[in-house]
Amino acid sequence: MTATILFIILFACMLMGMPIAIALGFSSVVTIYFLSGDSIASMGLKFIDNLTEHYTLLAIPFFVLSSAFLSTGGVAKRLIRFAVACVGHIRGGLAMASVMACMLFAAVSGSSPATVAAIGSIVIVGMVKTGYPEKFAAGVISNAGTLGILIPPSIVMLVYASATEVSAARMFMAGFIPGIMMGLLLMIAIYIYARIKGLPAQERASLREFLASGFSASGGIILIVIILGAIYGGVASPTEAAAVSTVYAFLIAVVGYRDMGPLKGVPWRKDGEALGAAITRNLWQSVYAIATAGFSADVRKTVLDGAKISFVLLFIIANAMLFAHVLTTERIPHIITETITGMGLPAWGFLIVMNLLLLAAGNFMEPSAILLIMAPILFPIAMEYGIDPIHLGIIMVVNMEIGMITPPVGLNLFVTAGITGRDILWVVRAALPWLGLLLFFLILITYIPEISLFLPELIDSWRGY
């Protein structure tokens, strides 16, 4: 009865248009006040504890700010240039390069909407000018952008790790191969479509252009190595790696690429300037830029935008954790576990039911909230069936990917609509033809656990665990 009332209040609030974070918190407080023995004061303490007792969550604002610096700076443009140099000469190569750029940017941002915004704002226009249908370009980017939460580091993976207390580092390892696999599937589908429709190919990049683009994009690529290398090598935790990535992203945007801050537009070397003089000048300019970056309007705006996004995410997470606390206090996950296991469903049957439930939830709620609500319910059931918690996490993340492009709350759809200037229904029609590919990928991830578990188990064996 308590569970029924709790979910009725939640869905009633959502149907009235209440923001999901407030709906979660309101339904939790009302249920506790009228149906539980806990006091409202204890709920206030629990709300604060949700954000302070989970050390992993501290990585979220760091990754958000790092992504903000890289999105505002020229990292996205340079990654796209490098991707075009790699695969642009293949038929449909510009679209394939867009997918590759999304994969690279996902590895430094951890956010799906940020990936769509950073890459899509550049490549959709470029594809249309080159002769690609606009609907095709919008559909490719909407779907490729979902890799932002699958390829590590991923904010959604951090949320799952916090909700289930599994290793965030192992979750990152588990997402690496599925992320590359999903990107390759998209690129293969693009190539087949391009051959059928006769889409254009770019001129093959010269060796000089390939090396130049690679060097230009190295600022972003090195960040991938820093984050993943530190985590996988056991040098730093995800939170520590996130903090380092923020400092690096700031330096590369302000000092390295000079796309923002006091040195914006200042060349590294002037015409006819001696190399020694250029090095000396840039050294002093870099020190000046770092010291005075806080006075730069674009740097301040980037930090403020990152803080706003972090606040929204953490507010949703805190309320969702409060909701999950009510579920746990009322032993709702335990009751549901006993009910489902008592039905005699096989493991594959449970996985089907779980995927359908998560796909339905993805239509109406934000991924972090879904994970924090559903993980406490599904996790103990999966353990009863002997499903690996890391494998379970990747299945849930892939479901959240699909939720990013399904209406009415698909975040990638709204970002793409803003980029193209089209209405949301047009974007939905552009993205849906690719949905079958994502569902096929979900089936593979669900029933072939080795795809997710191969890398974590391999690295564990190297470490002697």
Instruction: Spell out the domain ranges in the chain.
Output: 18-29+38-56+313-463, 58-301
For the cut 80, the answer to whether the pLDDT of residue 310 exceeds it is yes
Looking at residue 454, its pLDDT comes to: 92
Mean pLDDT of 1-7: 75
Q: Give yes or no for a contact between 27 and 306, defined as CB atoms under 8 angstroms apart.
A: no
Token pair for 238: 């995800």
Q: How confident is the model at residue 148 (pLDDT cuts 50, 70, 90)?
A: confident
For the cut 90, the answer to whether the pLDDT of residue 387 exceeds it is yes
Measured distance CA(100)–CA(177) in Å, rounded: 14
Mean pLDDT of 182-206: 90
| Secondary structure (3-state) at 291 | helix
Q: How confident is the model at residue 46 (pLDDT cuts 50, 70, 90)?
A: low
Looking at residue 39, its pLDDT comes to: 65
Looking at residue 459, its pLDDT comes to: 81
Mean pLDDT of 88-112: 89
Q: Give yes or no for a contact between 32 and 44, defined as CB atoms under 8 angstroms apart.
A: no
Residues 6+ apart with CB under 8 A from 431: 138, 139, 142, 143, 405, 410, 412, 413, 416
* Cα Rg of the chain, angstroms: 23
Could you tell me what percent of the chain has a pLDDT over 70? 94
Looking at residue 42, its pLDDT comes to: 66
Looking at residue 460, its pLDDT comes to: 76
Looking at residue 141, its pLDDT comes to: 93
Tell which phi-psi region holds residue 266, choosing left (phi > 0), alpha (psi between -120 and 50) or beta: beta
Mean pLDDT of 102-127: 87
For the cut 70, the answer to whether the pLDDT of residue 54 exceeds it is no
Q: How confident is the model at residue 437 (pLDDT cuts 50, 70, 90)?
A: very high
For the cut 90, the answer to whether the pLDDT of residue 398 exceeds it is yes
Provide the whole-model pTM: 0.86
Mean pLDDT of 426-432: 89
- Where is mean pLDDT largest: 304-313, 325-334, 346-355, 441-450? 441-450
Looking at residue 192, its pLDDT comes to: 93
For the cut 60, the answer to whether the pLDDT of residue 465 exceeds it is no
- Where is mean pLDDT largest: 85-94, 256-265, 273-282, 326-335? 85-94
Mean pLDDT of 51-64: 76
| Secondary structure (3-state) at 2 | helix
Looking at residue 41, its pLDDT comes to: 67
Looking at residue 438, its pLDDT comes to: 92
Q: How confident is the model at residue 73 (pLDDT cuts 50, 70, 90)?
A: low
Token pair for 48: 């604060």
Looking at residue 68, its pLDDT comes to: 84
Mean pLDDT of 203-222: 89
Looking at residue 258, its pLDDT comes to: 84
Alpha-helical (H) ranges within 16-58 are 20-35, 40-52
Report the chain's mean pLDDT, rounded to a whole number: 85
Q: How confident is the model at residue 37 (pLDDT cuts 50, 70, 90)?
A: low
Mean pLDDT of 134-144: 92
Mean pLDDT of 42-64: 72
pLDDT in tens, 151-185: 988 888 988 988 888 888 899 999 999 999 999 99
Mean pLDDT of 229-236: 81
Q: How confident is the model at residue 97 (pLDDT cuts 50, 70, 90)?
A: very high
Tell which phi-psi region holds residue 380, choosing left (phi > 0), alpha (psi between -120 and 50) or beta: alpha
Degrees to nearest 5, angle at CA 281 with 279 and 286: 95
Q: Which has the higher per-residue pLDDT, 335 or 64?
A: 64
CA distances from 256 to 1, 225, 325, 354, 438 (A): 59, 17, 45, 46, 37
For the cut 70, the answer to whether the pLDDT of residue 26 exceeds it is yes
Looking at residue 351, its pLDDT comes to: 93
Looking at residue 424, its pLDDT comes to: 86
Mean pLDDT of 200-214: 89
Mean pLDDT of 305-313: 86
